[in-house]
């Protein structure tokens, strides 16, 4: 199902990217080593977005 595009990106892809990023963010909240307070919050956010960007193509493949 292809929905209307925003800035040339379909809304389906935006939703998949957001869900992928939330799942990775949950890993940073729940994992004992990654949720340690010694790691700055901005670094966690940046790493979450970068991992979401690289894992997005794996999650968005249609089967």
Domain boundaries defined on the chain: 10-57
Q: What is the pLDDT of residues 2-46, one digit of tens each?
A: 566 667 778 888 888 999 999 999 988 888 888 888 889 899 999
Predicted structure pTM score: 0.75
- Orientation angle between helical segments 41-59 and 11-30, nearest 10 degrees: 130
Banded model confidence at residue 62, pLDDT cuts 50, 70, 90: low
pLDDT at residue 2, as a whole number: 56
- The DSSP code sequence of the chain is ----EETTEEHHHHHHHHHHHHHHHHHHHHSTTTT-TTS-HHHHHHHHHHHHHHHHHHHS---
């Amino acid at each position: 199902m292809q929905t209307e595009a925003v800035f040339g990106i379909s809304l389906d892809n935006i939703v998949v990217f957001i869900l992928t990023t939330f799942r990775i963010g949950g890993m940073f909240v729940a994992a004992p080593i990654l949720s340690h307070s010694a790691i700055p919050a901005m670094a966690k956010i940046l790493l979450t977005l970068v991992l979401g960007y690289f894992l997005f193509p794996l999650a968005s493949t249609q089967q």
